Amino acid sequence: MAELTYRDAVSRAIAQEMARDNNVVFLGEDIGKAGGVFKATVGLYERFGPLRVRDTPISEQAILGAAMGAAMTGLKPIAEIMFSDFLAVCFDHIANEMAKNRYMSNGQLKCPLVVRTANGAGSRFGAQHSQSVENWAMMIPGLKVVAPSSPADVIGLFAAAVRDPDPVIFFEHKSLYGMKGEVPDGEILDTLGTAKILRPGKDATIIALALMVGRAMEAAERLKAEHGIDCEVIDVRSLVPLDTRCILGSVAKTHRLFTVEENPRLCGWGAEIASIVADESFYDLDGPIVRITTPHLPLPAADNLEDVVLPTVDRIVDTVKRSMA
């Protein structure tokens, strides 16, 4: 068992899959000798060489176009889009091409590729480099969508993504790159479409994703210690496939549901989960589903303003306390 940063876990995850399968290739901007803009790919170029770790021009369309072609001809590419905001630049490739090739070819073409990208706020990059855009990808049929919150989950879920026959959008939260966590030795392989109950509880269910998972956990501890409210905390981890069995089972036990979402409130991933729970478990609920989100506005760059708009531990505690009262 070793302690790794989230950043180093990304590098280990890529290296694990490249060492296991020579068909896995990696391409993106500054991922080679530079080690990535977030230093999450250090050492890969030296270990696997320029044929398998390829720096690209500053062109998101070129990166995903090349990755799609490689995937359809037998390789298993990993493509990096530096900031998740830039998925908008190559959205046609994502929404109309890679997500639909297998379906439109009746299975004759496969597109087993992973698009990994740095997502989310908290690093003061401003409105065009700080968005949390998991819901952009979640809405497109044919894509799988993953957002890990810990170093161990980075490796296990990334391995599952690389080995999956469908395209996977893999969101790494840029404000988690420095966090540390214990990671088992040897090969790690997890399962897409599985959530994790990180803290059992009986009074309310709080579900969160990526950066918000740590805040939900801290809020749950405070709610128990200060107000006697025992919250169950679920790390969603995978939005597509979504582990509805885990979520609905928790709601059946606690009878209350709160979502903690970094994405803007309008059409956020929690809205879809709230809809599913209302459809499937309405009579298990003892109160309305409550969503704790970022407001529907461009993210500010100023540190004090960015901190205000993102869900905080204090806001989670206050919202759950008032709702339960």
pLDDT tens, position by position, 132-164: 999 999 999 999 999 999 999 999 999 999 999
Q: Where are the domains of the chain?
A: 2-183, 196-324
Residue 250 makes CB contacts below 8 A (sequence gap 6+) with 197, 205, 232, 234
- Which pTM value belongs to this model? 0.96
Tell me whether domains 2-183 and 196-324 share a fold: yes
CATH topology of domain 2-183: Rossmann fold (3.40.50)
Please state which CATH class domain 196-324 belongs to. Answer: alpha beta
Span 246-259, mean pLDDT?
98
Q: What is the mean pLDDT of the chain?
A: 97
* Residue 309, pLDDT above cutoff 90: yes
Decide if 60 is catalytic.
Answer: yes
Task: Look up residue 88 and give its DSSP letter.
Answer: G
Task: Indicate which residue of 29, 60, 97, 134 is catalytic.
Answer: 60
74 in Cβ contact with 23 (< 8 Å): yes
pLDDT at 26: 98
Query: How does pLDDT run across 76-108, given as a tens digit for each residue?
Result: 999 999 999 999 999 999 999 999 999 999 999
**pLDDT digit string, tens, across residues 195-239:** 999 999 999 999 999 999 999 999 999 999 999 999 999 999 999
The answer to whether 154 and 171 are in contact (CB under 8 A) is no
φ, ψ at 240 (rounded to 5°): -140, 115
- Res. 1 pLDDT band, cuts 50 70 90: confident
Q: Which residue among 29, 80, 93, 129 is the active-site one?
A: 129
